[in-house]
Amino acid sequence: MQNQITLAQEAAYTGVGLHSGRDVHMVLKPAPADTGIVFIRTDLPERPQIHAVAINVTSTLRATTVEENGHKVFTIEHLMSAFHAQGIDNCYVEMDSEEPPVADGSALAFFDLMQQAGRQEQAAPRREVVIDKVYRIDDEEHKRFVMVLPYDGFRVSFTSLNPHKLIGVQYENFEITPETYHQEVAPARTIAYEKEIKALQEMGLGLGGTLDSVIVYNDEGWLNPLHFEDELVRHKILDVIGDLRLAGPIRGHVIAVASGHALNTQLAKKIAAELG
């Protein structure tokens, strides 16, 4: 039986939000056993808490949003992904804005931040979410799905389908350990199609994105160098790990085709409702 883990000490990171474009100072703090991952809005007078759990998901438009008692935080998936990979069960995430910093558009900065803070074992057993049957969410209209089935470990197999000739079909399959995640998944960055950026910004999205934090492609090629040839599908794996962490630390095999935040979080809600 494993015990729960929190951070050994505080760790801070300052940057801008990917969608809001607002400056944000984030502090990760150790939290007592059975706390979970809890966001605290230090920019608001009552310092409201928002628990990062599946039932609190209220929007999945280009990012995952959780909301509690009328207060929200969004684009939490990269941070949640790093929490899963580092095996952190309990943490307070203090932020003076509604969105974590984007860093370079991946989860690497957050993974490294937690690594530097260190891990502290706690005197309470870990509540792992052990998948005991197949859970599946389908989007029949767009031929997409995400599922998880019993498996002794945590594995993600993802197929990305993109009609653009530059990207096409990408597939990756990883057993998610801290070492594999750090090398193969954490550095994969958010990706955008150049023609969509203006429309996104008119919707109030992507206001903090730059070529330092988003990989951009157009019909001629990539506007910035890639970390991996198949960086898109690796980032999709990063995202699904973060979204499913809202159901708890899962033990199972995730299989997905063209899934995004909407399907991922529906699956997290389904798992949490039955096993959480």
Known binding-site residues equal 78, 235, 239
Catalytic residue among 84, 182, 253, 261: 261
- Distance separating alpha carbons of residues 219 and 148, to the nearest angstrom: 35
**Which of helix, strand or coil describes residue 45?**
coil
Give the type of residue at 28.
L
- Distance separating alpha carbons of residues 217 and 195, to the nearest angstrom: 9
Q: Residue 40 has which token pair? A: 């605290």
The position carrying tokens 């909407």 is: 262
**Which of helix, strand or coil describes residue 158?**
strand
What are the φ/ψ torsions at residue 154 (nearest 5 degrees)? Answer: -135, 115
Strand pairing report for 49-51 and 23-30: unpaired
| 174 close to 156: Cβ distance less than 8 angstroms | yes
Alpha-carbon torsion (163, 213, 187, 126), positive or negative: negative
Which residue from 158, 125, 179, 136 is spatially nearest to 241, judged by alpha carbons?
Answer: 158
- Catalytic residue list contains 51: no
The position carrying tokens 């883990």 is: 5
Annotated binding site for Zn(2+): 78, 235, 239
| 241 close to 185: Cβ distance less than 8 angstroms | yes
What are the φ/ψ torsions at residue 175 (nearest 5 degrees)? Answer: -80, 120
Partners of 46 in beta bridges:
none
Rg of the chain, C-alpha, whole Å? 18
Catalytic residues: 261
